[in-house]
Structure 1
Amino acid sequence: MTNLTVSNSTLALGFVLVLVALVIGYIEKLHIDKAIFIGVIRAIIQLAIVGYILKFVIKTNDIWLTLACFIIIVVNASWNAGKRGNGIPKAFLISLLAIAVGTTFTLVILVWTGSIKFIPEQIVPVTGMIASNIMVAIGLCYRNMMQTFTDRHQQVLEKLALGADIKLASLDILRDSIKSGMQPTIDSIKTLGLVSLPGMMSGLIFAGVDPVKAIKYQIMITFMLLGSTSIGSIISCYLGYKQFFNERKQLRNELIS
């Protein structure tokens, strides 16, 4: 296999690419210099910490440490997804359930089929990939629900007035929101190999793995992300839309104003 080495001097030279982004932001007066600096510094610190933690967890190869990493990833992803549903009651708890179920179900299938083994070096990275993908999907679902409930609140009120229950009155919004959560994953699948060469496949090829084997792994990851995204989207939407109604099955004005 190819030995890949990234030295400190190489990283320092690579910082030129960050300077390019800073220069573009300055020339175009985008006012994103501070955000770029904070983002880069946070990324370096977080990745350095995670790198040493993963090194310890993988070396220890302990089931409880592996499960602890799983919980930390899921809770953190749920917290961030919940923030994207700011204003929706119980957004964090809904996100936690959706991400936990989607991630657990997907991991069980992958381990059961022999696609991955229940060892830290495989479980932890795959958990991160699944949870982050569901997190993004849930954020899109929340955003779509908040916007469409605001835009279509009169239609929902009319359906309720005609005797429809809250699910029937919200069905179109529910479907649009689930679709919005799944759409980015579906769009990325369509361009695999034609436009994008995904990170996992590229990383395996960089490491010297046979490209055909790398492609098989990427296909497995594609199936994994599509399934987990659909699970997370449908759970978050079916629980989330109910939060737009009060106990009297009336629209909450504070959420759609």
Structure 2
Amino acid sequence: MTVYASFTHGYKSGGFNLDSTAASGGADPRFASEEVDAYEVGLKAKFLDNAVTLNVAGFHEEFTNFQVLEFTGAQFTTFNVPLAKSTGVEIETVLRPSDNLTINGGLTYTNARYPDNCAGTQTSDNVLSLCGNSLTNAPKWVGIMGATYDRDIGNSLNFFINGQIRMESDRRTSTQAFDPADLTTRTPVPFDVQDGTVKINMRAGLGEIDGAWGIEAWVTNLTNEITRGVTFNTVLRSGSRSAFIQEPRMYGLTLRGKF
């Protein structure tokens, strides 16, 4: 068993928004450098003759001048939020009940948020409207579970089948949580929250043990869950919202060869 603690200081350089409309109307296309202080404590352990692996970690990150890239429906804008924080716990495990079966699982709780005082001395509405809300596409809970079974067939072939399930809680899909033009009532923007979902991926394959050739059949998002990745205001249609949809169900065959 290993117990550890760490501190890191990270840096992401600033720059210029190269979108062709970034400087329209006298807007400033520059954005400042982002810095982060990250703290982590955890343990890594193996049990039962290495049949069980367990990793647990707790983390806390504080971002200064957090860089935000926002798609407004008409252009990409970049700006800094003076303060953002992320705190959480990760648990990962791998079980090997037999030589042919491997089971993996993971659970993450993350509270990624803009604190109530995130704006600091800034007075920009697009920054003030974020304070007190979660970061975009940062669900509080994410769970993953999967299993792989593989075995030899005769002296020359190998077969495997794998399944993975990913579960996540509700998450915000747009940069702005509230309409920046109406910060008094702080009315949530419509269609902002994507409900929690469960997605399933599967893969099965057959090939030579030495890897000379192989064929695999696979499917992602087996149940065809339709989810939003990014939500934004529809151009020239006041009150209307649009969204970029994440990948639907896909399936196919993969052929591998080594010469």
Give the TM-score, by structure 1 length.
Answer: 0.25
Structure with the larger strand share: 2
Structure ID, larger Rg: 2
